[in-house]
Chain A
Amino acid sequence: MFIIDKLAYSSKLRYKNPAVKAAFAVGSLLICVGARSFVISLIILMIMGGLTVLSGRISVLRYFGLLMIPFSFLALSTLAIVFNLSEQPLNLFNIPIGTVYLAVSQNSLREGVLLVVVALASVSCLYFLTLSTTMIDLLTLLQRLRCPKLMVELMMLIYRYIFVLLDMASAISTSQKCRLGNKDFMTELRSVGQLLAVLLIRSLKKSSLLYDAMESRCYDGEIRVLNEYRPAEMRDAAGVAGYLAILIVLAVIL
């Protein structure tokens, strides 16, 4: 998660309009899931993967590494679809277990592979968005899309304080390790419990300090800030529209 955050800030596409990027990613995602087509999913996977790798200063290997995170979950659930328990042997291959067969049919294999490809393509769409758009821009976009203000404000504070709390947690954990807080399993368990308790207390304290600091700047219950929203370039918007249109046409034909 933190590596994704870091990469978003160094992406070459960072300063593109977030609405265009979101339309590109979410549009592709909808078409991909809607069409459930092998070819279209592959096209989307290639385009998203290619764009992310080229624009994101991220190596192909690392990108595959990221794709593999959901892949393990995916593989497990796909196995359940590919393999059937059946009384008759099926047409691809069969492993007899007592009176039944653990069997794979051509159909179930196709289903399974299609599922994997569609899922990976969908994930690649979301990765494109998160790896090219900073959280700050995404929140600005949500606000412009008339998301409830309270929700956006909460997300903004949470996003900021994840990093502060993380720093705090790692400092506490380091100091515990310095005092052999992880010498055996039971001690480690106790240390983690203490860490969580301290973290809770400190974050409450921090929130009250933050509130004081915000009040000092005339906070009145609503967070008003200047957002840096970069207007869409005609060329990008037209490109995305054209690309989505072609995908839809392909989806209808295939």
Chain B
Amino acid sequence: MNDQEKSSGQEAVLCLENICYTYEDGTEALKGVDLNILRGERLAIMGANGSGKSTLFLTLNGIHKPASGRVLFCGGPVDYSRKGLLDLRRKVGIVFQDPDNQLFSASVTQEISFGILNLGVAEAEAQKRVDQVIEELNITAFREKPTHFLSGGQKKRVSIADILVMDPEVIIFDEPAAALDPKHSAMVDEIIDELSAKGITVILSTHDVNRALLWAERIVLLDDGRILSQGTPEEIFTNEALLMRTNLEKPAILKIYESLCDAGILSRQLTLPRSADELQKIKRGEKLSQIKRQY
């Protein structure tokens, strides 16, 4: 891990050292997790249901205190005192999977203002921030509606605004696309892309291999409370044995690309295509070089 840090010149914003966590009923949800999360990176956590993704997230912002192991934030171990936890949580925000477990108020404004007021920001300033976030996430059209009349996608946007308003350094999305239609999940994807463009560290869990291939810089595979493997999407998704073991499909683009290569239509490239567009580009590039060769 230290090598990676040096080579990319990035510091680790969060660092997990041999984390174990057991629920009250004896379920061992995390069994020794080591993970460095680099500042500004786009990290996707993948793994089957019950593999411990949500539990991992809750240890990252101090809701769960690990039974053993250490969590480091910006190099220093997390201080589990009241004040230490508040400091951690203002910098590490989680957008929960089900907005109904996150939205506690019937009013959109009340809901979004909760976090920022807890940071001790004055009301006038908070109002400005809330209005700004509402504008940014296109919530204006339904900001006067009570949360129980909002659609799933609208609730999701409010729950993202909840966190954005606190201006965290790290934002964690627990299955951001769960129960959203394609249009709304594209909208959420856009928001996530904007965040990482701004240099915010984004961690998300997803079951969508195509999305992970396109978006992530690094993928961590969790399996039964342990890290099975981590690496770039290309490394992960070309490892057939690994995919088998974790019940993950190979992304469609890679399947098509490989069958095109096998059929001799394309020649293998150094960089694999991550999206349909990139595959098109490779195809066009090959055509071009063929034409050049003919002349």
Contacts and interface: CB of A to CB of B under 8 A. Distances in A.
A226 B109 contact: yes
Interface in A216-254: 216-220, 223-228
A215 interface: yes
The range of chain A's interface size is: 20 to 34
A156 B106 contact: yes
Nearest to B115: A217
Given A156-B106, A157-B104, A219 B118 contact: yes
B96 A225 contact: no
Interface in A22-77: none
Interface in B268-284: none
Nearest to B130: A226
Tell me the dominant secondary structure on chain B's binding face: helix
Interface in B101-140: 101-107, 109-111, 113-115, 117-119, 123, 126-127, 130
A224 B114 contact: yes
Contacts of B146: 5, 9, 134-136
B225 to A, nearest CB: 19
Nearest to A217: B115
A225 B113 contact: yes
B66 interface: no
B272 to A, nearest CB: 36
B114 A217 contact: yes
Contacts of B115: 217-218
Interface of A: 5-6, 9, 134-136, 156-157, 159-160, 163-164, 167, 206, 209-210, 212-220, 223-228
| 8 shortest interchain CB distances as A-B pairs | A163-B148, A226-B113, A225-B110, A218-B118, A217-B115, A209-B101, A224-B117, A213-B102
9 contacts: A6-B149, A9-B145, A136-B105, A156-B105, A210-B102, A217-B163, A218-B119, A220-B118, A226-B123
